[in-house]
Structure 1
Amino acid sequence: MEKKNVVSIEDRIPTLKQERKKKANRRLIFYLSIFFFLISIIVYLQSPLSDIRTIKVTGNAFVAEEQVLDQVDMAEGDNIWTVDKEAVSQAAASNPAIKKAEVHRRLPWTIELNITEVNHVGFVSRDDNVYPILGNGKVLTEHVQSDSMNGNAPLLAGFSEEAYLKDMAEQLSSLPESIRSLISEIHWKPNDGNKHKILLYMNDGNLVDGTIRHFADKMSVYPSIVSQLEPDKKGIVHIGVGAYFEEFGSAGEDSGNTDGTTNEN
């Protein structure tokens, strides 16, 4: 008959005591960790460690950072947790050049203000300076970053009446950027019969004769017209009731007319 190993209760007591001690130590460490973590949070919230040290403005191409910061009720030294994100966002978006603003806390002490601007559709020249114009017709004349002035949008020239400038900006806003980027300059050429008349200088060397009315719809045919021309052939693309091409130096408007239509007055 096999002899079984029997462990007496006296032998098991030291082992049980050790296990209980280990559990008690782990529980103590856990509670102490929570305690010090909470203390750390309280110290952080009540000390200058939670004060804003950096405010980053991102996404702004035309509106200067200083202008954005002047609009919002927030500054370095404020407690990062007292910042009203919604109020700051609304204050920044009150600028007509800003479409929306998002506020993010970047711990431990940074606030990031991400700006989405209203699309600019061109530039206008005033008092020997060039300023961007937005799709809503607003001309940005103050606090504009000079490094944002690039040639990716047309120059609007001769628009001495604000109403026509606004209409032109709205039409450009509806025009696909791929076509808008083809335009170098837009000149307002009003006459007695048509106050909406415009002349466009294109980056490819052609001219476009048209009107502000329904410009976005009519200008959409431009790429298809020039794609049918020989590379060395330049001239005037008329976009009116119909659309046709007139080569420079041709005898008259009827030469090169592809559909028998005449230009809109």
Structure 2
Amino acid sequence: MPFVLLFCKCQKAVSKLEKGKVVVLEERVPKLKKRRRQKVNRRLTIYIVFFFMLILCIVYFQSPLSYVKHIEIKGNQHISSEKIIQLSGLANGTSFWKVKEEKIKQAIEEHPEIKQVEMQKKFPNTIVLYIKERRRVAYIEHKQTFFPLLENGQILMKNAPKTVLSDAPILVDWKRGEDIQDMAGQLAKLPPYILSAISEIHYAPSDEDRYHITVYMNDGFEVSASVKNFAEKMLLYPEIVKKLDPNVKGVIHLEVSNYFKAYDQPKKEDDDDNESSAR
């Protein structure tokens, strides 16, 4: 009898467990269906977005939107933007994605006056070229034409201006190429504010110094110097001039020791009259 009671109790417990499992599964099925539906929807959304992105890319690459439309040139001073664009080979209608930076830079840097080029692509169709020109450190006057002398010693023979510019001095009476190269090296060491203050540099060798030069400044002073240490000495020029009377002009000697010698002052008419009356 006890065995029968125990068996009945076990059977009731099992039936309760089975009912509990059925209840739990019935509650979870809608949640599982919902999660599965959400997962399918996410996949479908990803596929749709990818499909439209693919369509947009195909349309972009097949349309004029992928062509270069704007070419901007920055940093150029003496070379025109039109000339730089011509050297680059870029044009409206060139594929934006087929523009090769190294090829463009190499083509532009073949120009003797261009030192460095950097290129930037701006989506969707703009190319920006940053130009660094070689400095013009002087102009060599010949038959009323002024040939630019670059910082590396190269002389530009083509398209030389007929009128001198104020950004660099004029070299006068320079014949030997080696001397011009030495002078270019010295001028390249000078900051722009000193270089632009020089008007003319005359080659004036003496028995004591084959490299002697006479320099005429825009402020009216004259400088006697040597090519060999010209840049080093000229860096002192601003401080020397500050100590001088701007109304008394003369020669600033910068060969070995630095000193100033005023021009001989012309006698005034009053002084001449006084001398005549004294006689």
Give yes or no for TM over 0.5: yes
Alignment of 1:130-149 (within 5 A): 130-142=146-158
> C-alpha deviations, 1:120-171, integer Å up to 9, x for none?
223333442334321112233435799xx75233232332333322221111
Distance 1:143 1:53, change over 3 A: farther
Q: For the aligned residues, what is the CA RMSD?
A: 3.0
Shift of 1:246: 0.3
Give, as a single letter, the amino acid of the residue that structure 2 aligns with 1:208. V
Matched, 1:92 2:108: yes
Partner of 2:218: 203
Q: Which of 48, 60, 64 in structure 2 is aligned with 1:32?
A: 48
Q: Secondary structure at 2:168's aligned position in 1?
A: coil
> C-alpha deviations, 1:2-58, integer Å up to 9, x for none?
xxxxx9987887676566545543432232112211222233223332222333222
> C-alpha deviations, 1:205-242, integer Å up to 9, x for none?
21101121221112222223222223322210011121
Matched, 1:77 2:93: yes
Check the 8 A contact 2:113/2:150 in 1, yes or no: yes
Alignment of 1:202-241 (within 5 A): 202-241=217-256
> C-alpha deviations, 1:62-113, integer Å up to 9, x for none?
1233433343344332212122211211222222211111122222222222
Distance in 1 of aligned mates of 2:118 and 2:102: 8
**Stretch deviating more after TM superposition (159-168 or 7-16):** 7-16
Distance in 2 of aligned mates of 1:162 and 1:70: 32
Which structure has more RCO (C-alpha within 8 Å, separation ≥ 6)?
1
Q: Which of 114, 117, 137 in structure 2 is aligned with 1:121?
A: 137
Ranges in structure 1 where 5+ consecutive residues have no aligned partner: 1-6, 252-265
Check the 8 A contact 2:146/2:161 in 1, yes or no: no
Check the 8 A contact 1:62/1:145 in 2, yes or no: no
Q: Secondary structure at 1:174's aligned position in 2?
A: coil
Give, as a single letter, the amino acid of the residue that structure 2 aligns with 1:152. D
Q: Secondary structure at 1:39's aligned position in 2?
A: helix
Check the 8 A contact 1:236/1:248 in 2, yes or no: yes
Distance in 1 of aligned mates of 2:108 and 2:53: 36
Distance in 1 of aligned mates of 2:123 and 2:159: 30
Distance in 1 of aligned mates of 2:160 and 2:175: 22
Check the 8 A contact 1:63/1:145 in 2, yes or no: no
Ranges in structure 2 where 5+ consecutive residues have no aligned partner: 1-22, 267-279
Partner of 1:156: 171
TM-score for both structures, normalised by structure 2: 0.73
Distance in 2 of aligned mates of 1:205 and 1:158: 20
- Paired residues in the alignment total 243
Shift of 1:247: 0.7
Distance 1:129 1:237, change over 3 A: same
Shift of 1:179: 2.6
Rg larger for: 2
Give the helix-richer structure, 1 or 2.
2
Q: Which of 25, 46, 49 in structure 1 is aligned with 2:65?
A: 49
Distance in 1 of aligned mates of 2:53 and 2:172: 64
Q: Secondary structure at 2:201's aligned position in 1?
A: strand
TM-score for both structures, normalised by structure 1: 0.77
